[in-house]
Amino acid sequence: MIEANDIWVSYRGWKRKIEALTGFNLTVNQGDIFGLLGPNGAGKSTALYTILGLIKPDKGSVKVMNQELYLGSSLFQYISYLPEEAHYHLYLTVEEAIRYYAELYGYSISNPEIKNLMESFGMTEFKRLKLSQCSKGMKQKVGLIQVLLNHNAKIMFLDEPTRGLDPLTTIQFRDILLERNKNGVTIFLNSHILSEVEMICNRVAIMDKGRVIVQDELRKLLTGEQDQYEVEFEPSDTILEFITVTERSDSSVKGIINQKHLNEFFSFIQQKRLKLYQCTLKRTTLEQAFANIIKGASGEKTDSNKYQN
């Protein structure tokens, strides 16, 4: 669906040339909900502009649906895009803007559909409000609505889509994206909200300093310590030496054990007739994986090598 090979992009700075992308490689498969992650200044927005054909790379090639995108390309009829900082015609009302964006997609939107979309995002009472009078969150909702107007979309590019949104709208939009994805739409998401990415994406790439460090299935990045288990059990006067206790209370003991001690641990629980509340493979959060990978790329001591492909 998306193939970026050895992309280099530079800008002319005031005193020196700025390398924005330095050998950027990326693969997004059809049907993915793909998250592009990275710290500020990593090159995420430049990468997105280059994929969309808005920036011509100094070197390398990008293909979307097996073709190179360029301004005016017919492929854009199959693409929906929400920029991080959308610029609107502020003299339009909310309803006028929605109709305008639908016309740009070549679609004559019906009154019932406009009503349903505005109700979904809590914008019905503001339909006659000019965009110049809308808050940032309200403008973001208009942007989300315009992304959903393209019924021909095969891929959606979303740059910080939940920025400025209230929790309820975030949940509703997430559900809509999952439904669109079930219907065959590939979703490319650029976000700093790692918890949101963790809930929705099946594959992610982490980039820094203009290049992708890791790209893989999300579940593999979150597997964590393959041989470590988190356990919680009823307190006992005896604690086996291989259990690393992380929390203790009158009602339970929480700890971590190595896989090789599982059988011995279960025997201990059975012999002592203790209640076992939890025994699960230790998982890494996306936030932890992200921090480890970025620190590893900068040369800091970390466990990030386990994420490399």
* CATH number 1.10.150 given to 226-283: no
Annotated domain spans of the chain: 2-90+148-222, 226-283
Amino acid at 103: E
Integer Cα distance of 245 and 224 in angstroms: 19
**How far from 1 is each of 45, 148, 187, 188, CA to CA, in Å?**
19, 20, 11, 11
Contact 228, 39 (CB under 8 A): no
Integer Cα distance of 41 and 294 in angstroms: 13
pTM of the model: 0.79
DSSP string, 208-247: ETTEEEEEEEHHHHT---TTEEEEEE---S---TT-EEEE
Two tokens, residue 91: 């003299």
Render each residue's pLDDT in the chain as its tens digit; 309 residues. 999 999 999 988 777 888 999 999 999 999 999 999 998 889 999 999 999 999 999 999 999 999 999 888 999 999 999 998 888 899 999 999 999 999 988 888 999 999 999 998 999 999 999 999 999 999 999 999 999 999 899 999 999 998 888 888 999 999 999 999 999 999 999 988 888 898 999 999 999 999 999 999 998 888 755 678 899 999 998 889 999 999 999 999 999 999 999 999 999 999 999 999 999 888 777 887 888 888 876 654 444 444 444
Among 226, 203, 211, 275, CA closest to 28: 203
* CATH number 3.40.50.300 given to 2-90+148-222: yes
Among 215, 187, 214, CA closest to 34: 187
Amino acid at 204: V
